[in-house]
Amino acid sequence: MKTTSLRIAAATTVAGLVFAAGVVPAGASTSAPVASYTKAKCNQAINERLFILDISEQRINNVRRLTAEQKAAQIAGIDAVQAHLINVNRPALDAATTRSAIRAACQAIYTDNRVYAVVIPQLFASVRIDEFGNAFEKFDPMVAEKKAAGADTAAIEALVTSAKGHVDTAAALVSGITPDSFNADPTGTRAKFQQATDELNAALGDMLRAIVAYRDLTVPTA
């Protein structure tokens, strides 16, 4: 009965990781809409971004797998975007009186802040990183229990160590991305997000293999 429970827990762990892998967006829109610009539409765009940023900051603050410094970097980036939307973009839009000025003010909402190109992909990556942290916390004691019972868990421990390394690399990659770095090097920034995704996919592969190996463990009988 205990073995069955452990296998169910292992399967649940992997299921969570697979689900987390599926929520990472393949790409994000980085340009302003081509539809006609109005102050009402653009104020709505500001409000939407402020709401998304507030939710993102709360979620990132609760991520456990990121270091305090990594969380602080992401939260500082979100705070800066919020401040820019409120103190720069909104006043510029309010002050615009001609069609061309309104268009320029609206476009700046997108190009200045990169909420969908940077903040949202960062959030999804951070949530996925946290899912791995939860998985490690569940799986490590299970492996330790088998090891204490006499099973050879060296291969599993090596896979988990490898997975943790991939997750740590991904966390370091996404925490250093900002709207300014995206604007300065969009291609390079997208490459960093892709590299982080690749690292997390590699971690998932390691964990899947570790789960299979765990399932096949045998404990020596006295």
* Separation CA 1–CA 3 (nearest Å): 5
- Per-residue pLDDT of 164-221, as tens digits, reads 999 999 999 998 888 888 889 999 999 999 999 999 999 999 999 999 999 998 877 7
Asked, for residue 86, whether it belongs to a domain, the answer is yes
Q: How many C-alpha atoms does 105 have within 13 Å on its Cβ side?
A: 27
187 domain-assigned: yes
Answer yes or no: are the C-beta atoms of 63 and 128 closer than 8 Å. Answer: no
Q: Residue 203: give the domain boundaries.
A: 2-215
| Closest of 82, 110, 76 to residue 178, by C-alpha | 76
Cβ burial, residue 68 (10 Å; 0-12/13-18/19+): exposed
- pLDDT at 1 exceeding the cut of 90: no
68 in any annotated domain: yes
**Any domain includes 169:** yes
Does 222 reside within a domain? no
In a domain, 221, yes or no: no
Rounded Cα–Cα distance for residues 154 and 152 (Å): 6
Number of structural domains the chain divides into: 1
pTM over 0.85: no
pLDDT at position 222 is 59
Radius of gyration of the chain (CA): 22
Mean pLDDT over residues 77-96, rounded? 94
- The gap from C-alpha 170 to its chain's centroid, in whole angstroms, comes to 9
- Whether residue 23 contacts residue 41, with contact meaning beta carbons closer than 8 Å, is answered with no
